[in-house]
Amino acid sequence: MIQSLKDTITRLTAEMNTNGLTMPQQVLAFYYLFNELGITFNNSDKTQWARFINTFTGKNYQNIRAELNIDFESKRTRKNLRIVSDLFDELFPKIRQKVINDSQ
C-alpha cells in the first residue's frame, strides 16, 4: 500500500508542473464539476464558462474560450484527463470515474 502511494506520488510529480494544474487541465476540471452540477455545453453558453473560469483562475479569457472546444480524441487531452482524474480521486470518486472513462 505504501509503495503504491509512493509510486502514485512519483508519477504525479513527474506529470504535473510545480505550479499546479495547467490552464487546459483547469478547464477540464471545471468541465467535469459543472457537468456534475447539471451545467453543460447544451444548456449554457461557453462564453459564460470562460468568464467564470477567467475570474476564478486569472488565466487569459481568450485562451480559456479556445480550450473549451475540447477534443477528447487528442493525445494531449487524454494525458490531461489522466492528470485531472487523480485530482478528483478522494473527494469526487464518481467524477473521477467519468474522467477515466473519457480518457480511454
pLDDT tens per residue, range 83-94: 999 999 999 999
How is residue 3 written as a grid cell?
A: 509503495
pTM score of the predicted model: 0.81
pLDDT tens per residue, range 15-67: 555 568 999 999 999 999 999 999 999 999 999 999 999 999 999 999 999 99
The DSSP code for 69 is S
How is residue 50 written as a grid cell?
A: 470562460
